[in-house]
Structure 1
Amino acid sequence: MLIRKVRRYLIGHWRGEQGLAWSFWINLVLIRVLLLLLQDWLRPGKGQDFHDMQGFVLLLALLFHGVLFVWQAVGVIRAAELYGRTTGYMAPVWGTQMVLVLAVFWVMTYAFDAWHMTRPAPDNLGRQYAVEAERAEKYSIEPTADGQSLTLSGSLELGIANHLKQQLDAYPDVKQIILASTGGNIYQARGLSNTIRQNGLNTLVVSECSSACTTVFIGGIKRQLSSGGRLGFHQYRIEADYAVLNADPLREQDRDRAIFLQAGVAAWFLDRMFNSPSSDMWYPELPELMEAHVVTDVAP
């Protein structure tokens, strides 16, 4: 008996026999809204997916966003046509047609969303760890044998400033940072410089410290250069083959100029430092570095 009533109801709507108001508001709008709310409620959580249930989910999407929607739309269209023929009033008919056009796009969006739920969720956390590991391979911060110094070498990559803080916590007897780097991220360089200055640490260069590394060096309370070490300076530049939003090399130079001035570096040195071509590197001699107060002491 129930099956017969359901079958009669479905056929009645399909033929447009249930009236425009009922067909539109109940069979189309109400049922469709309930289905879309149900889909939103069943959406997988962040980092989860229905990939293992792909066949079942796509079958439901085909049923509810395909077969069922065709039944809803056809019934409403036929009910609207019947309404227009019997009343001669076409405004509701045209309005119904416009709503159906919008409903098609709405249903297509949810159908695509259902398909997207079956795609494997990206392992964002794993990808983040992989990127961080890749960056960490480009530098090292290791203690010396006596535990009095940390040797920072390699590229100044994202995360290196936090790594230095962790190493300082692990080795509280450190008094000096030995630098060996040809530069990298200027923002990380400033973070390293601030950490060195706030902890009252000295800096030492025994090989080369150039580009952004010099900003790290200038954070030292006592700044030493060994006989085989050198410091390299140049104008700032953006090393990217694409447009970097809100990046202004001149503005960044001015910020670091203030850091160098605060450390007591002579203004004439900074003028020459930031006038050196970005494509070249200026390596001042030790007497010039001492006179400008970039280097405060010669390493023994």
Structure 2
Amino acid sequence: MPYIQDHWLGKHALLFALCVNLILIRALILFADRYTLPPYISDRIPALIATVAFILIFHGVVFVWQVVGVLRATQHQSSILANIWTVVTYGVIGLCLAFTALSIAASFRALAPERFMPVNLTELEDARASQYALTLSSDATRIHVTGTFALGMAQRLAALLDQNPEVTGIVLHSDGGHVYEGRGVGFLIRDRGLDTYVFEACSSACTTAFIGGVKRYLGPDGRLGFHQYKVDLDYPVPLYDIKGQQEKEITFYRNQGIAESFLEQVFLAPHTGIWFPEGTELMEAGVVDGVVE
């Protein structure tokens, strides 16, 4: 193609070659390299072949074409800023090279053999279930939820509620866990018309479950903790939108009658910290309906 040949020969304007042919195309390539990895290619050998081919073509041939064309374009500079643009060009090439090397290293880490070990689904479900406990109270009117919100919790809680239709409330004690499970438990509690209680601490994903309650109560020592979400994985998660997930929680909170002034603060604390509002603030915002012993 003439376009490819023109860039290779340095015929494009330096600014265009630098911004479009190098920076933009390299950014698209670095974004696209995840498609040779799980979950898009689940088997290791095909994923390894696809990754090596991708690296040879796009981090090899295409990158050489990008760099050579940009360097040749610098030779046609005649303005008094030519030297400055040359320095800028070498700096951008260095950054692109660094990001490309990091991307290649991350790809091969994601292809480590231990990441493709066969998974026993029964053992996986048991391992997840071991992270939390669902305990029916002695009078069979409440279910105590403790531990981490792991995948499968909402489904197991639904089954326990089906077996015990006299349950009217859920007691929560958790530092959080999986965002989807927190939301799933919150929807389940809301749809079943249950009240929620926190007598100790309920943070992160647990707060979404708590806000699902028709009536929401704190004990004298109960605390609710809020912070931003994070992706706690070692491999790339395609198109995972953390901000979008937080917006879904805000919408759920709003539908549960939480004040707008409170919603503006829910995700201000970074994921490395946590915000524990005072009881009076929770009451005023409609998060909590009362304090009970």
Report the CA distance between 1:259 and its aligned residue.
0.2
- Give the counterpart of 2:168 among 175, 181, 198: 175
Question: In the TM superposition, what whole-angstrom CA distance separates every residue of 1:78-99 from its partner, at most 9, and x where no partner exists?
Answer: xxxxxxxxxxxxxxxxxxxxxx
Question: In the TM superposition, what whole-angstrom CA distance separates every residue of 1:174-214 from its partner, at most 9, and x where no partner exists?
Answer: 00000011111111111111110111000000111000100
Equivalent residue of 2:121, what SS?
helix
Asked if 1:144 corresponds to 2:137, the answer is yes
Aligned to 1:193: 186
Report the CA distance between 1:241 and its aligned residue.
2.8
Equivalent residue of 1:209, what SS?
strand
Aligned to 1:109: none
Aligned to 1:245: 238
Aligned to 1:134: 127
Superposition map of 1:188-227 within 5 A: 188-227=181-220
- Give the counterpart of 1:271 among 264, 270, 274: 264
Equivalent residue of 2:249, what SS?
helix
Report the CA distance between 1:240 and its aligned residue.
2.0
How many pairs does the alignment contain? 178
Aligned to 2:32: none
Report the CA distance between 1:243 and its aligned residue.
1.7
Show structure 1 runs of 5+ residues with no match.
1-122
- Give the counterpart of 1:289 among 282, 285, 288: 282
Equivalent residue of 1:182, what SS?
coil
Report the CA distance between 1:217 and its aligned residue.
0.4
CA distance in 2 between counterparts of 1:130 and 1:267 reads 43
Shift >4 Å, 4+ stretches: none
Superposition map of 1:62-101 within 5 A: none
Asked if 1:165 corresponds to 2:136, the answer is no
Moved more, 238-247 or 217-226: 238-247
Report the CA distance between 1:242 and its aligned residue.
2.6
CA distance in 2 between counterparts of 1:205 and 1:261 reads 20
Equivalent residue of 1:179, what SS?
strand
Q: Percent identical across equivalent pairs?
A: 41
Report the CA distance between 1:284 and its aligned residue.
0.5
CA distance in 1 between counterparts of 2:188 and 2:242 reads 23
Equivalent residue of 1:265, what SS?
coil
Name the amino acid aligned to 1:192. Answer: V
CA distance in 1 between counterparts of 2:168 and 2:148 reads 22
Show structure 2 runs of 5+ residues with no match.
1-116
Name the amino acid aligned to 1:299. Answer: V
Asked if 1:155 corresponds to 2:148, the answer is yes
CA distance in 1 between counterparts of 2:228 and 2:261 reads 15
Name the amino acid aligned to 2:121. Answer: Q
In angstroms, what is the RMSD of aligned CA positions? 1.6
TM-score by length of 2: 0.59
CA distance in 1 between counterparts of 2:187 and 2:213 reads 9
Larger radius of gyration: 1
Asked if 1:231 corresponds to 2:228, the answer is no
